[in-house]
Amino acid sequence: MKALHIAIKDLLITLRDWQGMLIFLVMPMVLTAILGAAMNSNFTDAPSLGQFEMALIDEDDGELAVALRAVLDTPLLKSLIRVIEMTEAEAIDRIAAGKLQVALVVPQGFTSSVYAGNDASLMVLKEAGSSLRPMVVQGIANSFVEYVSAGRIAASLAVRQAMLGSSNIDPMQTAGHIVEQLHALILQFREEVAEPHRSLISAFQYYAAAMAVMFMMSAGGVGLESIAVEKRNLTWERLMASPTSPVYMILGKFLTVLLVNSLQFMVLMLGTTLLYKVSWGDNMLMVVAAGVCYAVAVSGLSLLVAALLPLSKAGLGVWEIGVQACAALGGSMVPLIIFPKVLQQMARLSPNFWGIRMFTALMGGETLQLTHVLPLLAIGTVALCIGAGHLVFKQRSA
Amino acid sequence: MILEVKNLSKSFKDKKAVDQISFGVKEGEAYGLLGPNGAGKSTTIGMIFGLLKPTTGEVVVNGFPLIKQPEQAKSCMGYVPQEIALYPELTATENLTYWGRMYGLGGAKLAQRVAEVLQIVGLSDRAKSTIETFSGGMKRRVNIAAALLHEPKVLIMDEPTVGVDPQSRNHILETVKKLNAAGLTIVYTSHYMEEVEFLCTRIGIIDHGKIIAEGTVPELRRIVGEVATLVLQVSSLPEGLLATLHGLSELNTVAATLEVLQITAGDAAQALAAVTQVLADYRVKLRSVDIKEANLEAVFLHLTGRALRD
Ligand SMILES: Nc1ncnc2c1ncn2[C@@H]1O[C@H](COP(=O)(O)OP(=O)(O)OP(=O)(O)O)[C@@H](O)[C@H]1O
Ligand SMILES: [Mg+2]
């Protein structure tokens, strides 16, 4: 209860100084508009449906090429990619003419190469300058090759069995077999790279989420600042002289950031919905719950930094630098897909990554999953525990 | 004993801020800690409230050892910090309500106590104004009010009148005096000896982290010995007058230069009565009298060779 009273008092002070909070509301709205408009073409021409054309050049004419066609024919990928078959020369012409952005080549001998246990790969041709779509195709190609290579023994066994059992090889059966397992892989791939559904959402949606997570973290500095002010004003001392355990003080500050962040999120969500017609998802309650989960991560981190850093202007400066770094690393500035693989992996260190992943999933029509919220809740709780432990220890040994 | 401080020491790095301080405060008493800047008053109070961890020693409040039962011990004390510890953006009522909650108050009782303490410090009419609009003296008064909400057994004040205009200062002193008269135990630190003399029944003089003398005001004065100096301007010095004055048992020493008598005595009032009687007998007119009582300033000077305030 005391923790809640501490937070309510902080919230009251924060709201009295509402001009100070304005920047955390206006800036993300403005940046969402600018970045959303600027990056829209990078996402998809039709914001609501991110389908694009891809040429398929089959020089192999083997079983695996058939299997690949079957993969591309799954509803999941069909909604994203419209496949047109043509020759390599045709594709190169079209790309040169600017009529096509990307082509996927199944080279001659691909199937036999894989069955023989040799290295084999699919080739992606792309228009110079476009990066996002070729990357999607490259991702699909890589997953496919990875799968069939890893499963090449099983595949060749299946083929041999088919050859022994009947004189006719049924490529469709083999494809069906692979697709079945590839489906799971693609789902996972879609999860990890988050590309297909990112393409299904508009740039405005993406940046509404990206800016919200960035500026919510920025507003987390309120927690640091209010601790610094309490120490300076000696209200912290007065509280420590009262029969209030330092644990309440820390929980109170955690709640302060949580409340400020949650309010901020709701304003941003309503603002982007009304002004930019951004759809955050079908279930408002779920979206708000997601916002609160992200706020938990920010609140925990704010306390952790407050505990570890000297509480001064410099401390706040370090927080702001951290906010920028997390934003860049986690995909708040530019979508992760244009980063190299290593950076895409490192993005997981940034709460922004998990926040954007969660919000874009909701925007793409998914429901809120444990895998969305757990990383954020874990960041928040671990940071809170370390931060609180450290602060209490510092207080006890003053 | 409401408050027992036993062998408290605090060192910052190699500097001893407080050095083996011990004192006890009885219920209803007003105990003063008098000492110059940097003597260790705030450090001592910080340790009493558990804000600083003592290097050695312990604090017991109303029978509760601070280390073992901090919440019970802290509940018995009201803390008036040396600086204003309030939220400037919040009103007096909002501040006091918040602090009341931190001491476990709530509901109608809390609202009633907030109104009462505002009454005590004379700020009922400013209840709804934010603290940032208050004068320095008014802030100090709210600073005190916040320590009274939970009806503590002992009110511990760290230089509550620093930087305050004389009017507010008098108001604060009168308020504290009244609270003490109503039975509240007070611990009051200051480097103003007038304040401590006015308020306190017992005083500890603190310097360089040590209590160098302790007692009631008369007890402390006795340390200096001769208590008061009387300077009298008289119309004449007839023969025999000095000899008669020397014979008075109420006086310690008598010196005369031209028409000025310089007398030291243990009790200024008794000495003056005796001297005026003698002067009347000799038909000498008294033109002016100046009594300089030995004060705590003199005691401090006597003990340390330094003035209380530089
Ligand atoms: N955190 C600290 N670190 C180092 N030295 C300190 C610290 N706090 C106090 N001191 C030193 O301890 C000594 C006692 O300080 P303290 O604040 O207790 O004095 P005080 O009697 O309250 O003085 P004042 O009348 O100026 O308030 C001083 O010499 C001071 O410089
Ligand atoms: Mg002090």
How far A1 CA sits from the closest chain B CA (Å)? 9
Number of Cβ pairs < 8 A linking chain A and chain B = 70
Q: What HEC string does chain A produce?
A: CHHHHHHHHHHHHHHHCHHHHHHHHHHHHHHHHHHHHHHHHHHCCCCCCCCEEEEEEECCCCHHHHHHHHHHCCHHHHCCEEEEECCHHHHHHHHHCCCCCEEEEECCCHHHHHHCCCCCCCEEEECCCCCHHHHHHHHHHHHHHHHHHHCHHHHHHHHHHHHHHCCCCCHHHHHHHHHHHHHHHHHHHHHHHCHHHHHHCCHHHHHHHHHHHHHHHHHCHHHHHHHHHHHHHCHHHHHHHCCCCHHHHHHHHHHHHHHHHHHHHHHHHHHHHHHHCCCCCCCHHHHHHHHHHHHHHHHHHHHHHHHHCCCCHHHHHHHHHHHHHHHHHHCCCCCHHHCCHHHHHHHHHCHHHHHHHHHHHHHCCCCCCHHHHHHHHHHHHHHHHHHHHHHHHHHHCC
- Say yes or no: A239 contacts chain B, CB-CB below 8 A: yes
Of the candidates B111, B108, B109, B174, the one whose C-alpha atom is nearest the C-alpha of residue B141 is B174
Contacts of A172 (CB under 8 A, 6+ apart): A66, A70
B20 ligand 1 Cβ < 6 A: no
> For ligand 1, what atom is nearest to the CA of residue B45?
18
B37 ligand 1 Cβ < 6 A: yes
Q: What angle do CA A32, A37, A40 make, to 5 degrees?
A: 110
Length of chain B: 310
User: Residue A99 class from Cβ within 10 Å (0-12 exposed, 13-18 middle, 19+ buried)?
Assistant: exposed
Q: Which two tokens stand for residue A374?
A: 């757990």
Annotate B225-240 with b (16+ C-beta within 10 A) or e (fewer).
eebbbbebebeebeee
- Would you state the pLDDT for residue A233? 87
Report how far residue B84's alpha carbon sits from residue B17's, in angstroms, rounded to the nearest whole number: 23
**10 Å Cβ neighbour count for A127?**
18
- Would you state the pLDDT for residue A192? 39
User: Residue A55 class from Cβ within 10 Å (0-12 exposed, 13-18 middle, 19+ buried)?
Assistant: buried
- Would you state the pLDDT for residue A181? 45
Which of B14, B42, B192 for a ligand 1 pocket mutation test, highest count of atoms within 8 Å of Cβ? B42
pLDDT digits (tens, 9 = 90+) for B273-310: 999 999 999 999 989 998 877 777 777 777 777 766 65
Q: Which residues of chain A have pLDDT under 50?
A: 44-49, 153, 166-172, 174-175, 178-179, 181-199
- Starting at the earlier edge strand, list the strands of the sheet with B185-190: B77-80, B154-158, B185-190, B30-34, B202-207, B210-215
Report how far residue B138's alpha carbon sits from residue B126's, in angstroms, rounded to the nearest whole number: 9
Q: Which residues of chain B have pLDDT under 50?
A: none
pLDDT digits (tens, 9 = 90+) for A118-135: 778 888 888 776 666 776
Report how far residue A200's alpha carbon sits from residue A51's, in angstroms, rounded to the nearest whole number: 8
What residues of B are in contact with residue A5 (Cβ under 8 Å)? Answer: 98, 101-102
Whether the Cβ atoms of residue A213 and residue A104 lie closer than 8 Å to each other: no
Whether the Cβ atoms of residue B62 and residue A219 lie closer than 8 Å to each other: no
- Would you state the pLDDT for residue B114? 96
Give the Å distance between the CA of B37 and the centre of ligand 2.
Answer: 7
Q: Which two tokens stand for residue A188?
A: 């996972």
Interface test with B, best of A231, A235, A251 (most B CBs within 10 A): A235
Give the Å distance between the CA of B39 and the centre of ligand 1.
Answer: 7
Give the Å distance between the CA of B295 and the centre of ligand 1.
Answer: 26
Which ipTM was obtained for this model?
Answer: 0.81
Domains assigned to chain A = 2-42+200-397 (no CATH), 52-194 (3.40.190)
- Would you state the pLDDT for residue A189? 38
Residue of B nearest to A13 (CA): B89
**10 Å Cβ neighbour count for A107?**
16
